Chain A
Amino acid sequence: MADISVRMGELATSADPGTVLVSIGLGSCIGLALVDTGARVAGLAHIMLPGPGEHASRPPGTFADTGVAALLAEVLALGARRMRLSATIVGGAQMFGSAGRMQVGARNEEAVRAALRAARLPVVAAETGGGSGRTIRVYLDDVRVTARAAGGSENVLYGGLALPV
């Protein structure tokens, strides 16, 4: 299977069952997966900051608000149906914890959830917060979303065999 790496600020979509969308090493960043298990279309954004993302020179995936909007537009363009889309979010850790430093991870999660609410996209699974980095993978073959914390094992958060019949 071909991995498509989605780096900080980037987003990618696929309808090819041979691909895996992956964001390696999410710290305070959020990996946002939008999937339509019916159409077997998925997208992944690697969001860095809460926003607002009015800076046009930045990749659209950089901020929560522009990232959600851009990812939604791309999965719809690939044939996803809005009614069937669901969101999974991973990341938003607080890796450097001293008081007074920006709580970027928690603010990222809050902003992504708010943008998803505004777009009426349900969050069906999440693995967020804590102090460890994580990797998110979206497998297009059975449209499942997984998370793996540093030094841990890979958990299926949504889709795949866990899909409701």
Chain B
Amino acid sequence: MRTNYTEIELDALRELANIGAGTAATSLSGLLGIPIDVSVPTAAALPLADAIDATGPAELCVTGVAIPIDGDLAGSALMLFPEDDVATLCGLLGLEPDSEYAASALGEVVNILCASYLGALGDMTGLQIDLGPPEQVVDMLGAIMGSILAMSAAAGDVALMLDSALIIEGQACSLSFLLIPSADGVDGLLAQLGLG
């Protein structure tokens, strides 16, 4: 069981996240018709309680959209939207934030971003990555992260989190995309990069 990763391994994972997020940003830009920037991704292997703190205050109410991942890479992809960002994103899509379409549109946006991100990862590594349907909840950040980590990191002592921010030009809105692979999944990724 892995409890830590070397700097070289984390660098390789960061590069994967960078390419994945770049592809996702291109898709989002096409969807919204405005430029999207990508931040330098962070890759960190953290004890589980610290992994929750790293995403924000546990009591913060957010919308979380999770996509289960299976195949050669198991784990979860997760996007967290603070309330203001839901409103901004819905505005850009021409939807009322509280309308019945907003929730399904948000799920669809996450679906497109995940498919682009993980598609790029799959192309690069030759791994078959299958996406499940998006699941959406509005709840406390800590409860969402804890539940995701309990499912994804059940076998690991630490959670490896690849975090990329997609920055929407002209808007105070950056979307955080988290990839939380299972411990086995990370080893598979690294092996495909020759670092296994």
Binding site for B on A (CB under 8 A): 7-10, 24-29, 48-49, 55, 57-59, 62, 93, 95-98, 101-102, 104-105, 108, 131-135, 150-151
Question: In the complex, are the beta carbons of A150 and B140 less than 8 A apart?
Answer: yes
Find chain A residues with CB under 8 A from B195 CB. Answer: none
Q: Given contacts A95-B139, A102-B154, could you give 11 more A-B pairs where the C-beta distance is less than 8 Å?
A: A7-B53, A25-B144, A27-B142, A27-B147, A48-B48, A49-B154, A59-B49, A62-B48, A96-B147, A101-B151, A150-B139
Find chain A residues with CB under 8 A from B113 CB. Answer: none
Query: Taking A24-B59, A58-B157, A98-B133 as contacts, is the C-beta distance between A8 and B48 under 8 angstroms?
Result: yes
Query: Taking A27-B147, A150-B61 as contacts, is the C-beta distance between A97 and B49 under 8 angstroms?
Result: no
A-B contact count (CB 8 A): 107
Question: In the complex, are the beta carbons of B149 and A24 less than 8 A apart?
Answer: no
Alpha-carbon distance A29/B59, docked complex (angstroms) = 15
Find chain A residues with CB under 8 A from B138 CB. Answer: 150
Interface size on B, as a range, is 20 to 34
Binding site for A on B (CB under 8 A): 1, 3, 47-49, 52-53, 58-59, 61, 66, 68, 132-133, 135, 137-151, 154, 157
Query: Taking A49-B154, A57-B157 as contacts, is the C-beta distance between A133 and B52 under 8 angstroms?
Result: no
- Pick from B3, B135, B144, B154: contact of A27, CB below 8 A: B144
- Pick from B48, B147, B154: contact of A95, CB below 8 A: B147
